Amino acid sequence: MRRHELNRRGFLKLAGVSSVAFGAATTGLPSPLRASAEARKNRGQRFTTYDRGVKTPNFCEMCFWNCGVDVYTRDGKVHKLEGNKLNPNNRGHLCAKGNAGIQSTYDPDRVPGPMIRVGERGEGKFKKVSWEEAFDEVHRRLAPLLDKYGGETLATFMHGTGEQYAHTLTLALESPNITVPAYSQCMGSREMAWALTFGTGVSGHETYDMAYSKHMMIFGRNMAGAIQVREAEDFAEGLARGARLTYIDPRQSESAVRATDWLQIQPGTDGALALGFIHVIIRDRLYDVDFITKYAHGFNELQAHVKQFTPEWAEKKCGIDARTIERIAWEFAKDAPNVVAIPARRMTRYGNDTQTVRAIAILNALMGNWGVPGGIFVRTSVPLELPEHEHPEVPDVQRADGVGEGEAYPLAPPSLGRTNGIFEATLTQKPYPIKAWLLYGTNPLSHSSIGVNKIFEAIKNLDLIIAIDTQFSDTVMYADIVLPESTYLERDDAPFIQKDKIPFVALRKAAIKPIYDTKGAFDICKGIAEKFELDDWFEERSPEQQNAALERALTKEQRETLERDGVLRFEDVDPYPVASGSRPVFMTGTGKVQLFVDDLVAMHKEHGEAFSPLPVYLDPPEPKTGEFRLLFGRTPHHSHARSQNNWILLELQSDTPVWIHPDDAHKLGIKKGDKVQIHSDATGYTSRPEAVKITRRIKAGSLFINHGFGHRTPLWHLGDLKGTKDNYFISDGIDPISGAAAFHNGFVTITKATS
Amino acid sequence: MSKSPVNTKLNKEKNLAMVIVGDRCIGCDACYVACKTDWEVPALKEAYRTKVYEVEGVDNHGNPTIGFLPTLCNHCDNAPCVSVCPTGASFKREEDGIVLVEPDMCIGCKACMVACPYDARYYDEEKQSVDKCTFCLPRISNGLDPACVTTCVGESRNFGDLNDSGSVVSQLIRNATSIARLKEDEGTLPNVYYVTVSDY
């Protein structure tokens, strides 16, 4: 279980409270043990001093959302991280992971220096080499592959602050195959649907104005569990101010804690429910006529199209009572426009995801909540003139991942790519041989989008895996060359510049010197580039130079503010242009909110219903009798891969109990306290025995486990083999519009463990 | 006039209290980590100064419910840990009511751990002393909020002086639509309050 029962601390029993001590305590001690009056007077003196130490500005790298951090050091050692009060990403708070960032830096299992693999892949046997030797080795092994197969044989996966350097290096080596897993393994379908409708994505820092919302309608976005600090703050603030919360999820997650209505929906049918809401809202004329008339494209088509999606139809699909659908639609519209409908963040679920989010986006549009408080706020860019860096041109070569004009996924953004496409290309060596991977802060052998079973096959085709990482991840175990990056507490970085509700700039300055023989991403990528005589692309690009360029763009007063606070906010912006009476800008093909998407018409004709320019619901595949759908999701205590060897976070959670509904458990004879194993015929994997959590908080027919566990990294003393890895059991589906993955059609059996 | 909702029995110069707005806790456990980090609490699952319990229940319709209960030392005005301590190592500061353990005087008998109804104490092998929440006395003595309050993502935790009518905690108590304390029936007079507030 995630948290203990409310009982006595285990070690009280274990450590033993001797009967002698007990006796002494209860009967009173002989006088020699009583403290002198002097000693009693001085009690507690030590508790009134606090050396806060030296503060350096930073932003968090425990996950990708870069909350502002004040790093406090004493005698050259980091002793405390605190949230930067002025950083809009977190307003002074840090989550459990952010607070535990120190342990990641002082983790004795970190990569101590550049490494070359000497054992078998996966065995974890490396020899430490100098940086010069490591860069030479990269050149010695990569150059012949580039010569033989062309630059495109290199595929790069990147995630983290140093991405810009891995990006430049890859383009300079003449490969177009750059991917960011955040698209195809996470937000891809959500961002695609939002962009088709509004001309912009939700963005990583989500634009839901929850703090001022009167009604949050949340479709499976676990605000309280899958924590991003600002979103969690706004969610809690909105609830505290009295917002209604309609929380839609087959699982009662942390976010259901104060739901006005928790709708335990049939998995994969969120689109049907959203269409049911739209039907009622249009049928009963509850939409914002003014907003729709001025700013929407295709309302008449939508009105005719949704006549079929009655609440009764939706009830049949999603299992939510038709009268409840009507009631909630009415309640939602009553508080418009200060309401917001929120799709899941990791919308890589059932393969109908882009269409589902299209329906949710349209729900928002009908409420006229764009650019108004409590609805969807509008972001503004940081108003600074910074030098544009010259980048190598994207080579004119077909991408390997099916992204691009005339390819299978023409709408997917080449800037992010499809990791699932790269995995497939590596497995099949089509459309051309992929022989080398460069990994920057990513862990595809643990979290992939074609199934871990296929990934292990795919990497057999690779002649070279180069990993830049702060730690020995599952994938680093398989790398041929490991180039260790300094952690965020040990390195300077380029300024963090965020387009947002309050746009801002934040600084990262090294609080301590690197503990091990590590470098920042700039020095690592430039070091490789030098061996290929491509380091010209890294001129004027160092963190130091980019910080200096920023300073030149600032006024004296701004410089002083940034120096003092570690963050500089630009508050002269209007996140609520529609409420202010300004005309909003929609960067869509029609310049309007697209209820109907013209860009999908041709594909709709050619490929069918999945590409409908009006939102549709498509049934997800269903499990066979005796099988369960495996759902998974985040815990507030861990990230995908960066938190698993962190002792303090492991104290909070170190296992993945399997959630099952009591009716299902009863049928299978599974009882509280049993260990269970799950098995997938599709992937052939069986889990190790895990605890079972029998609860009505999960929908019958589905199982749930937390994501981010089950890592296999023999060089980790704490985090190796903790819990079960969802990735062994999930599906390898694809959303046809976005090209992003669909994970939630993984079907498994569950049995009581015999051992 | 009904009796005061807060402790007034002791004539303290400052009446320090934690006021937790229960509805705002999202169970993220940031407090647990901030606290353990600041005070170098041993790397043991059983050693902590604050902890959030996930409380599962069932509503009137038989549907499951969940809630979160943040816990810490209650710095009781009638503290069983203090009265049971044979050496005087566990003591309550007269000026502000903070309950502390003086490590030099602790003999490790753990009677206080047994006596505490809130399971708020642990034994630190390295210090050879029982240890516990100090209301972050080192921090508050130097103008900072307690570590758990500083990091609280939901802004559920509030700390201050109930003798100061302008303090956030006094305002919360005044505006509270409900006030509860843990195990009040044990007569411990705890100084951690759980409130619901409707007016923000």
Nearest CB to B153 within list A29, A50, A93: A93
- Residue range A562-581: mean pLDDT, rounded: 97
CATH of domain B16-197: 3.30.70.20
Terminal CA-CA length for chain B: 26
In A401-517, DSSP assigns E strands to: 436-440, 464-469, 481-484, 496-498, 504-506
Q: Does the pLDDT at position A559 exceed 50?
A: yes
Spatial distance between the Cα atoms of A312 and A317, rounded to a whole number of angstroms: 9
Name the residue facing A80 among B38, B85, B141 (closest C-beta): B38
CB B106 within 8 Å of CB B129: yes
Specify the DSSP element, H or E, that contains A568: strand A567-569
Same domain (yes/no): A261, A371: yes
Q: Using a CB-CB distance cutoff of 8 angstroms, which residues of chain B are in contact with residue A252? A: 64, 66
Q: Are residues A411 and A429 in the same domain?
A: yes
Query: Quick one: A421 and A338 in the same domain?
Result: no
Read off the CATH number of the domain in which A659 is found: 2.40.40.20
| Shared domain check, A318 and A212 | yes
Residue A201 predicted with pLDDT over 50: yes
C-alpha A620/C-alpha A733 separation (Å) is 11
Measure in Å the smallest separation between the Cα of A399 and chain B Cα atoms.
41
In this predicted structure, the answer to whether residue A27 has a pLDDT above a threshold of 90 is: no
Same domain for A519 and A406: yes
Q: Region A550-557: what's the mean pLDDT? A: 97
User: Are A347 and A302 found together in one domain?
Assistant: yes
Q: Is A344 domain-assigned?
A: yes
Longest dimension (CA), chain A: 94
> Between the CA of residue B64 and those of A185, A661, A723, what are the distances in Å?
31, 11, 25
CB contact under 8 A, A21 and B63: no
E strand map for chain B: 16-21, 50-58, 64-72, 90-92, 99-101, 121-124, 129-132, 157-161, 176-180, 192-197
CB contact under 8 A, B151 and A47: no
CATH code of A163's domain: 3.40.50.740
Q: Let me know if residue A251 belongs to a domain.
A: yes
State the Cα–Cα distance between residues A60 and A70, nearest whole angstrom: 9
User: How many structural domains compose chain A?
Assistant: 4
Q: Is the pLDDT of residue A7 over 70?
A: no
Between positions 106 and 135 of B, the ones with CB within 8 A of A are 107-111, 113-114, 119, 122-123, 134
Question: Residue A194 above 90 pLDDT?
Answer: yes
Binary contact (A35, B89; C-beta < 8 A): yes
Q: What is the CA angle A654-A658-A661, rounded to 5?
A: 145
CB contact under 8 A, B141 and A49: yes
Residues A138, A241 within the same domain: no
The answer to whether residue B57 neighbours chain A at the CB level (below 8 Å) is no
A692 within a domain of the structure (yes/no): yes
- Where chain B has pLDDT below 50, the residues are 1
Taking the CA of residue B200 and the nearest CA in chain A, the distance in Å comes to 6
Report residue A15's pLDDT band, with 50, 70 and 90 as the boundaries. very low
The predicted model gives A519-539 an average pLDDT of 98
Instruction: List CB contacts (< 8 A) between B107 and chain A.
Output: 21, 33
CA distances from A408 to A156, A199, A548, B50 (A): 20, 22, 43, 53
ipTM of the complex: 0.96
Grade residue A9 by pLDDT with cuts at 50, 70 and 90. Answer: low
**CB spacing of B111 vs A21 below 8 angstroms:** yes
Q: Nearest by CB to B151, which of A50, A83, A262?
A: A83
Check residue A187 and report its DSSP letter: I
pLDDT band at A11 (very low <50, low <70, confident <90, very high): very low
Length of chain A: 755
DSSP 8-state class, residue A211:
G
State how far residue A261 is from chain B, nearest Cα, in angstroms.
11
Of A9, A39, A96, the CB nearest to B30: A96
Return the number of CB contacts < 8 Å for A and B: 207
Across the range A560-584, mean pLDDT stands at 97
Chain B residues with CB under 8 Å of A79 CB are 37-38
What integer best gives the mean pLDDT of chain A?
A: 94
What is the distance in angstroms between the Cα of A228 and the nearest Cα belonging to chain B? 10
CA distances from A209 to A227, A463, A476 (A): 16, 48, 39
All residues of chain A having their beta carbon less than 8 Å from the beta carbon of residue B93 are: 44
For chain B, how long is the longest CA-to-CA vector? 55
Q: Which of B14, B23, B29 to mutate to test the interface with A (most CBs of A within 10 A)?
A: B29
Tell me: pLDDT of A44 over 60.
yes
Does residue A632 sit in the same domain as residue A539? no
Is A333 in a helix, a strand, or coil?
helix
Could you tell me what percent of chain A has a pLDDT over 90?
A: 90
**Looking at beta carbons, which residues of chain A come within 8 Å of B151?**
82-83, 92-94, 99
pLDDT of A34 reads 61
For A75-119, how does the pLDDT look when each residue is reduced to its tens digit (9 = 90+)?
Answer: 999 999 999 999 999 999 999 999 999 999 999 999 999 999 999
Report pLDDT for A667. Answer: 98
* Tens-digit pLDDT profile for residues A342-365: 999 999 999 999 999 999 999 999
Residue A29: band (very low, low, confident or very high) from pLDDT cuts 50, 70, 90: very low
Residue B96, Cα to own-chain centre: how many angstroms? 14
How many residues make up chain B in this entry?
200
The mean pLDDT of A27-44, rounded to a whole number, is 67
Find the angle CA(A567)-CA(A568)-CA(A571) to the nearest 5 degrees.
Answer: 135
d(CA A727, CA A619) in angstroms, rounded, equals 23
Q: Does B182 touch chain A (CB under 8 A)?
A: no
* Cβ B100 vs Cβ A43: under 8 Å: yes
> DSSP code of B186?
G
Pairing mode of beta strands A126-128, A154-158? unpaired
Q: What is the pTM of this model?
A: 0.95
Q: How far is A382 from chain B (nearest CA, A)?
A: 26
Residues 6+ positions from A158 with CB-CB distance below 8 Å: A166, A167, A178, A179, A180, A439, A440, A441, A442
Q: Which residue has the tokens 């992010």?
A: A416
Residues A412 and A536 in one domain: yes
Residue B139 in contact with partner chain A when CB distance is under 8 A:
yes
Q: A241 with A370, same domain?
A: yes
Please indicate, yes or no, whether residues A164 and A228 belong to a single structural domain of this protein.
no
Cβ contact A142:A464 at 8 Å: yes
Q: State how far the Cα of A416 lies from the Cα of A437, in Å rounded to an integer.
A: 16
- pLDDT: is A716 or A452 the higher one? A716
Yes or no, beta carbons of B30 and A98 under 8 Å apart: yes
With beta carbons less than 8 A apart as the criterion, state whether A212 and A242 touch: no
Question: What pLDDT score does A452 carry?
Answer: 75
Contact B137 A44 (CB under 8 A): yes
Token pair of A606, please? Answer: 């050619």
A369 and A395 assigned to the same domain: no
What confidence score (pLDDT) does residue A4 get?
40
Residue A52 with chain B: CB contacts under 8 Å: 142, 144
Asked if B151 and A25 come within 8 Å (Cβ–Cβ), the reply is: no
pLDDT band at A8 (very low <50, low <70, confident <90, very high): low
Mean predicted confidence (pLDDT) in A244-271: 96
Interface list for B 24-43 with A (CB within 8 A): 24, 26-30, 32-34, 36-38, 43
**pLDDT, position A454:** 87
pLDDT at position A39: 81
Q: CA angle, A460 as apex, A454 and A463 as ends, to 5°?
A: 140
A339 found inside a domain: yes
Selected for mutation to probe chain A from B38, B151, B155 (highest A CB count within 10 Å) is B151
In a domain, A56, yes or no: no
The residue with tokens 């408080």 is: A373
Give the structural domain span for A218.
207-379+579-611
